[in-house]
Amino acid sequence: MSWLWQEAQEQMAVSAAAQAQAEQEVRDCAETAAQAERNYRVELHKRIVTLRGQGTAATACESLAKGEPEIAELRYLRDVADGVLVAAKAALYRRRDDRADTLQLARWSQAREVADGSIGGDSRLSFS
């Protein structure tokens, strides 16, 4: 299966759009992960300060705070956001590779058309 010139151009545009969408998804996921990290750290810090103010040993404050349901939930949300970011980056790498494969197939298709003489109808490809 080879593509005609126009089909190759269309497939390359589809691949470029998919890559751009994947790049935006990574940006969105990075922002979500950063917000989740910030929320977790701020609330953890607040709880540690509160525990310390209540006379809890400084060495125990962080461990106790991390075990509290609200803080544990924020940590969970942070970890999930990090996992989603990792998956989005993997999808971006796949889209980049798909785009490279599309370009390679388009070049092969175009070379095949030239080699078998079936290329025609496109004034950009005529030689004078």
Q: Give pLDDT, residue 76.
A: 98
DSSP 60-116: HHHHHHHHSHHHHHHHHHHHHHHHHHHHHHHHHHHHHHHHHHHHHHHHHHHHHHHHH
**pLDDT for residue 61:** 97
* Rounded-to-integer distance, Cα 81 and Cα 31, Å: 9
Please, which residues have CB within 8 angstroms of residue 27's CB and are 6 or more apart in sequence?
Answer: none
What pLDDT is recorded for position 25?
97
Q: In 3D, which of 91, 114, 99 has the Cα closest to residue 4?
A: 114
Per-block mean pLDDT, blocks of 10 residues, the chain (128 long): 80 93 97 98 98 96 97 98 98 94 86 72 57
What global pTM score does this model have? 0.77
